[in-house]
Structure 1
């Protein structure tokens, strides 16, 4: 008998190194590196950029060495040559996963905004593009007023919108996510975007929009695939991994998004601890 060899691990570049005054990239990237590496499906290299205001002239990651880039970064603009190389990597079939605050990055980089579909903050105003809404079972682009915001962190239901998409296949129709920021009113080109899951903050929640806001999205960019998760907030003063990043729902959708962005498929089984609607499942 011959023993089948294990499939090669998906090569992930975790790119991090800067965040704005509301986030702590050191905590979030440490948590991402630990959880993704521990899963067993992935091989992770972490690349830390220069600090804010430092020289980026030599910043030129070897994108093609990886299957997917996991972006935990919102900071200084990259050199134009690096931007072009990144655009070519993704449009040529490379994978990208934009994690939470990464959708605040690069408001003036048109290709990046197209990659992530919608974004917020960083100077994005009402001219950044429409808001994405999920109304009566379909995606709607809304040019109405309003810019990116969020209620204070709270537990909320995440509801599946695309049950047949590889990332969402087999997951519950709804599941309770651990206390987190719920991004709302993100704006952008919203091209080739599929809403995978939404969440709502009703009128009883301060700054709630009463809209089904996109939490998980899939975007086609050329031949490349982008998974955008708005979940996983880490505050500037957090020193330990928050519950939002230990939520089994957050983690499993992240892993599924990484596999899909890298390969176009999802082979993972739904874990036994995936949350239902009664309470969140927070892993140790």
Structure 2
């Protein structure tokens, strides 16, 4: 009987390969790119790596760029060795060689996950802006694309002039699912509360091949726009898939934003989706409700195991 089952799975894998599907083995390999950020990357990158490693679906390696102002030509990760890249980076431009290698990786089907200030990075890099869909700061304006937000039951692309990127005071906010049938969102509550964080607004960009999964709003009295801004979305770039979360502000003594069970769950589900196009993960019992946040204070922290490039 066991022989029959083994033969069946062997034939199934062969058929998938012939049909052009990539058959990936777990754990999926993640490259966490960090080293420069206007946020406290030594804290955030270690926690992000731990989140991936503790999931059992992923095996994470961290690579650290040279410090700001130093020679970036030595930063040459071998992106092609990984299933996905997670960016915790907002700093100096990469070399043309590294940029070309990264574009090639995603276009050919590599996965990309980014959060918070990584969408501030590389304002002049056209292909990066296409990958991330929406970005902010760095001189982004109407030249870079429209504002995108939810209004009257649909998404609006607003071409009004103005800066790209803003946020109000740090607040708890309610995340509202807009695509409950998407694999990343399937099974999640319609609404759930995220811990105190910066809610980005007025992001703008190419917004092509983009699907917005969730939104959140902040009152104008607190520095928000009062409208439902995108907080979770996906982009398809070439054969690659991208998952973008605007949540995750981390300061030297502030990391609950990325210990939020909602942030962790959506990050991991987004990561699985960019690799496979599906999500197999169950929703944990500690997932936040519409009225109550949920922080995983006791993440099993592991050694960062970072390496400098190259």
Q: Which residue number corresponds to residue 262 of structure 1?
A: 275
Q: Which residue number corresponds to residue 63 of structure 1?
A: 79
Match status 1:12 vs 2:30 = yes
Q: Which residue number corresponds to residue 137 of structure 1?
A: 153
Q: Which residue number corresponds to residue 128 of structure 1?
A: 144
Q: CA deviation at 1:12?
A: 0.3
Runs of 4+ residues deviating >6 angstroms: 1-4
Match status 1:46 vs 2:69 = no
Q: Any idea what the Cα deviations from partners look like across 1:97-136, whole Å, max 9, x if unmatched?
A: 0111100000000000000000001221232210111123
Question: How many equivalent pairs are there?
Answer: 278
Higher helix proportion, which one?
2
2:100 to 84, 88, 113: 84
Q: Which residue number corresponds to residue 243 of structure 1?
A: 256
CA RMSD in angstroms, aligned pairs only: 1.8
Question: In the alignment, is the contact (CA less than 8 A) between 1:137 and 1:161 conserved in 2?
Answer: no
Alpha-carbon separation, structure 2, partners of 1:163 and 1:175: 13
Alpha-carbon separation, structure 1, partners of 2:47 and 2:105: 26
Q: Which residue number corresponds to residue 153 of structure 1?
A: 170
Partner SS state of residue 167, structure 2: coil
Partner SS state of residue 106, structure 2: helix
Alpha-carbon separation, structure 2, partners of 1:122 and 1:36: 29
Alpha-carbon separation, structure 2, partners of 1:165 and 1:90: 21
Q: Any idea what the Cα deviations from partners look like across 1:1-33, whole Å, max 9, x if unmatched?
A: 9799xx52011000000012xx11111111111
Q: Any idea what the Cα deviations from partners look like across 1:212-251, whole Å, max 9, x if unmatched?
A: 100001000011000000001012xx23x52211110000
Alpha-carbon separation, structure 1, partners of 2:237 and 2:277: 13
Question: In the alignment, is the contact (CA less than 8 A) between 2:260 and 2:294 conserved in 1?
Answer: yes
Alpha-carbon separation, structure 2, partners of 1:138 and 1:92: 32
1:180 to 169, 184, 197: 197
Match status 1:272 vs 2:272 = no
Question: In the alignment, is the contact (CA less than 8 A) between 2:114 and 2:245 conserved in 1?
Answer: yes
Q: What's the TM-score once normalised by structure 2's chain length? A: 0.86
Query: In terms of Rg, which structure is larger?
Result: 2
Partner SS state of residue 232, structure 1: coil
1:216 to 222, 232, 244: 232
